[in-house]
Amino acid sequence: MQQDVAAIIVAAGRGTRAGAGVPKQWRSLAGAPVVVHTLKAFREAGIDRLVLVIHPDDRALARGISGNELQLVEGGASRAASVHAALEALAEHPPQKVLIHDAARPLATARIINDVLAALDTDLAAAPALPVSDALWQGADGRVVRAVPRAGLFRAQTPQGFDFATILSAHRTYNGDAADDVEIAGAVGVEVTITRGSEDNLKLTYPADFDRAAGILAGRKAGSMDIRIGNGYDVHRFGAGEGCWLCGVLVPHTRALMGHSDADVGMHALTDAIYGALAEGDIGRHFPPSDPQWKGAASHIFLRHACDLARARGFRLGNCDVTLVCERPKIGPHAAAMQAALAEITGCPPERISVKATTSERLGFTGREEGIAALATACLIADGKETA
pLDDT tens, position by position, for the chain (388 residues)?
677 999 999 999 876 665 566 889 999 999 999 999 999 999 989 998 999 999 999 998 888 886 556 899 999 999 999 999 999 999 999 999 999 999 999 999 999 999 999 999 999 999 999 999 999 999 999 999 999 999 999 999 999 999 999 999 999 999 989 999 999 999 999 999 999 999 999 999 999 999 999 999 988 877 667 899 999 999 999 999 989 999 999 999 999 999 988 999 999 999 999 999 999 999 999 999 888 888 889 999 999 999 999 988 888 999 999 999 999 999 999 999 999 999 999 999 999 999 999 999 999 999 999 999 999 999 999 854 433 3
Q: What pLDDT does 13 receive?
A: 83
Distances in Å between the Cα of 346 and the Cα atoms of 168, 307, 309 are 58, 6, 11
Is residue 107 within 8 A of residue 39, CB to CB? The reply is no
What pLDDT, in 10s, does the model give residues 289-298?
888 888 889 9
Q: Which pairs count as long-range contacts for 172-180, CB under 8 Å and 24+ apart, including other chains?
A: 172/84, 174/80, 176/78, 176/80, 177/78, 177/79, 177/80, 177/81, 178/79, 178/80, 179/79, 180/79, 180/127, 180/156
Q: What pLDDT does 17 receive?
A: 63
Q: pTM of the full predicted structure?
A: 0.61
Is residue 26 within 8 A of residue 52, CB to CB? The reply is no
Q: What pLDDT does 312 receive?
A: 82
Residue-wise burial string across 325-351, b where 16 or more C-beta atoms lie within 10 A, e elsewhere:
bbeebebeebbebbbbbbbebbebeee
Is residue 107 within 8 A of residue 181, CB to CB? The reply is no
CA torsion through residues 180, 185, 191, 195, sign: negative
User: Rounded distance, CA 125 to CA 189, Å?
Assistant: 11
Is residue 181 within 8 A of residue 87, CB to CB? The reply is no
Radius of gyration of the chain (CA): 30
Q: What pLDDT does 19 receive?
A: 59
Q: What pLDDT does 385 receive?
A: 40
CA torsion through residues 188, 81, 180, 169, sign: positive
DSSP 56-119: GGGHHHHHTT--TTEEEEE--SSHHHHHHHHHHHHTTS--SEEEEEETT-TT--HHHHHHHHHH
Q: What pLDDT does 40 receive?
A: 93
Q: What pLDDT does 386 receive?
A: 36
Q: What pLDDT does 224 receive?
A: 66
What pLDDT, in 10s, does the model give residues 338-381?
999 999 999 999 999 999 999 999 999 999 999 999 999 999 99
Residue 294 CB partners (closer than 8 Å, separation 6+):
260, 261, 287, 288
User: Rounded distance, CA 94 to CA 88, Å?
Assistant: 9
Is residue 125 within 8 A of residue 67, CB to CB? The reply is no
Q: What pLDDT does 162 receive?
A: 98
Domains of the chain: residue spans and CATH: 5-223 (3.90.550.10), 225-383 (3.30.1330.50)
